[in-house]
Amino acid sequence: MFKSFVINDVLTKIVTAKAQETKDDTADTIWATTAGWANNNLTKRVKRQGATILKNAISITANGSGKAFYQSQEFTVLQDSYAVKLKPQYEQYNSKHVLLYLVSALNKTIVGKYNFTNKSGWNRVKHDVVELPTSTSGQIDFAYMEDYMRKLELARIHELKTYLKTTGLTDYKLTSTKK
């Protein structure tokens, strides 16, 4: 069963310090979100010093049509965007899969609703309603979100492996790279 929830009842905006943009791409810099949709909303570099370092959170563009992104790596907020996290009473459910589910639900609600004259800032978005799965008691079913996204991820990995095998592209080696 699904139920409507006001976004502000589930998520809260993270207060961040103003970061200083830089052209450097060194160890003392970090990616920052802006209003862009490219590169998972990470479009600028800022100095680490003085920046609020976030990880495992959701960023949302505040300028233009609005879109939510899951941020698994360290990042900060620069301009025309903001970050949100689960309200304190839900913090124990703060996982990659739950946040990915919430990003999808948020985007279903906000993408296309906002534009450059009606911007998707937190003061507007927080009043929007998002549809979420609920338990028989009517509470948000975070376990369902976690399980659903895990199964979806495994299904996509299986599809990719099947495709690689079918096309004869099984002679590959995945390597980790540093950013």
- Local structure of 62: helix, strand or coil: coil
Find the helix or strand (DSSP H, E) in which 146 lies: helix 142-166
Model confidence at 111: pLDDT above 70? yes
Give 68-89 pLDDT, tens digit per residue.
999 999 999 988 899 999 999 9
User: Hey, CA dihedral for 38, 40, 41, 47, is it positive or negative?
Assistant: negative
Buried b (16+ CB within 10 A) or exposed e, 144-170: bbbebbeeeeeeeeeeeeeeeeeeeee
Model confidence at 113: pLDDT above 60? yes
Find the helix or strand (DSSP H, E) in which 3 lies: strand 2-6
CB distance 130 to 3 below 8 Å: no
User: Lowest mean pLDDT: which of 18-22, 160-164, 171-175?
Assistant: 171-175
User: Lowest mean pLDDT: which of 21-25, 43-47, 78-82, 154-158?
Assistant: 21-25
Give, in degrees to the nearest 5, the angle at Cα 109 between 30 and 19: 20
Model confidence at 21: pLDDT above 90? no
The pLDDT value given to residue 41: 87
What are the structural domains of the chain?
2-166 (3.90.220.20)
Model confidence at 142: pLDDT above 50? yes
The pLDDT value given to residue 56: 96
% of the chain residues with pLDDT over 70:
97
The pLDDT value given to residue 178: 54
Quick one: which of 163, 101, 107 has its CA closest to 133? 101
The pLDDT value given to residue 174: 66
Model confidence at 115: pLDDT above 90? no
CB distance 19 to 31 below 8 Å: no
